[in-house]
Amino acid sequence: MKKVQTILALIAVNLLVVVGIEAVTRGTFAVRDTARSEREEEPDERALLPAYDGAEYDPVETWRELWAGTRIWLSYEPYTVWSRKAISGRYVNVDDAGRRVTHNNFDDSFDDNHDDNHGEVLEIWQLGGSTTWGMGVPDAETIPSRLALLFNEFGVDTRITNLGDTGMVSTQEVLTLLRGLQTQAPPDLVIVYDGANEPLGVAEAPELLNPHYLVDRIRDLFEGRNPKPRESAAAQLWKSSGVFRLVKAIRWKLGLKDAPPPPPPDFANPGGVEALAASGVGVLFENYGFSEIFGTEFGFRPYFFFQPRPGAGDKPYHPSEQKIIAGLRDDAEQNWILRFAEELRNGVKARVVAGEVPERFQDISDVFADVSEPVYLDWVHLSHRGNRRVAEVIFEALREDLCADPPANLSLHVRGQLRGACSGIEAAQR
């Protein structure tokens, strides 16, 4: 009898100890969580870079809104895999269609002088990744917004739809264009501004041709190769306990983290990078060819611009940009991606020399060759200064082409405005 009492007493003591530990750990984490929620959120370190010098907006608040939107941005989109959800903020806004709001678009809805020409504006769609979408800048400083400003100031009523999105590669852009043509009237012009995202999916799945970003994760979800097992009630109780969080915190402090992801394919093999980049160049220009076919079929004119990125383009780099590039070189995966980007750029330049590019293709990877001020925020994104320069280069290329050879599909109203604006340029040059 005494043995039973002793055992029961030990069990009771152990239970009291466990309950006490759980109460203490839960209370500690509750206090910490409350303090964290009340503490002002640390700004994204990129918001403090010299690339924002002279900005007429608050970079810290811009990044806060960008991250708030990014945390909820994933929304399934047929064929293109993902899009964004609507968000509304001071600097960052996404409409119900999942498109970043473009500032400076011409709006004739309240203009009595344009009643006879309602809807007869120059319609432009711009495709690309997060650099087109505008990561790092407010709505008014995205490349499409700056381009709309330049066209409307030129004297041509213009509306630009921003079809860019995070991580998009050229195949997704072709599908985005196709999906848009299935549901909307075709635009007058299509601008494709890309090239930087091509290595991302390849680093994850080199066996695929031009794979999209996060392909492994999405493939695993679809194929059920790593299905999440149904947890027992005991397991769920354990994972909700304060002791479980304490064990995780101790493991983290001791460096006992989860196994890191495998390194990129052939990251130590330059030949592997070269071969994959050569395939990437081929796919990139095949997709440009598809866009040209769509343009012929649907009556729009496509333009293609191969974008700049740090470490794979000529620029007198600011110390802050040199630090960004050094950080990329120090990381095995990022260094592999940077080498891929360099080889991709070399392949593009070789095509330009050989004349094996679309009629309206421009390599603008050296657009900052004479810009000593900092423009890069990270591995590819630009501040307002960089976006303005890119928009100016794209505008000049389009203006020169449209003045020399205006597309037949333009409305009479736009053709008349274009004729007047181009005549003004010619008169000024005499």
Note the pLDDT tens digit of each residue in 136-178. 999 999 999 999 999 999 999 999 999 999 999 999 999 999 9
* Interval 109-134: pLDDT, tens: 545 554 454 468 999 999 999 999 99
Question: Which residues, including other chains, have CB under 8 Å from residue 249's CB and lie 6 or more apart?
Answer: none
User: Would the pTM of this model clear 0.75, i.e. be above it?
Assistant: yes
- Give CA–CA dist 205/402, Å, rounded: 40
Mean pLDDT, the chain, as a whole number? Answer: 85
Does residue 426 register a pLDDT over 70? no
Which domains are delineated in the chain? 45-429 (3.40.50.1110)
Does residue 340 register a pLDDT over 50? yes
Helix, strand or coil for residue 77? Answer: strand
- Give CA–CA dist 325/319, Å, rounded: 10
Place of tokens 């093999």: 269
Place of tokens 């389009």: 398
Q: Which of the pair, 239 or 257, is modelled with greater confidence?
A: 239
Does residue 5 register a pLDDT over 80? no
Does residue 105 register a pLDDT over 70? yes
Confidence class for position 336, pLDDT limits 50, 70, 90: confident
Predicted local confidence at residue 153, as pLDDT = 96
Poorest-pLDDT segment among 14-23, 278-287, 304-313: 14-23
Half-sphere exposure of 212 (CA within 13 A, CB side): 20
Predicted local confidence at residue 378, as pLDDT = 94
- Give CA–CA dist 201/337, Å, rounded: 10
Cβ-based burial of 215 (10 A; exposed 0-12, middle 13-18, buried ≥19): middle
Confidence class for position 18, pLDDT limits 50, 70, 90: low
- Give CA–CA dist 152/395, Å, rounded: 11
* Interval 195-243: pLDDT, tens: 999 988 887 777 788 888 888 778 777 877 555 556 666 666 666 676 6
* Interval 44-90: pLDDT, tens: 899 999 999 999 999 999 999 998 866 667 788 889 988 888 999 99
Predicted local confidence at residue 228, as pLDDT = 57
Region 21-50: mean pLDDT is 70
Question: Which residues, including other chains, have CB under 8 Å from residue 30's CB and lie 6 or more apart?
Answer: none
Q: Which of the pair, 28 or 266, is modelled with greater confidence?
A: 28
Q: What percent of the chain has pLDDT over 70?
A: 76
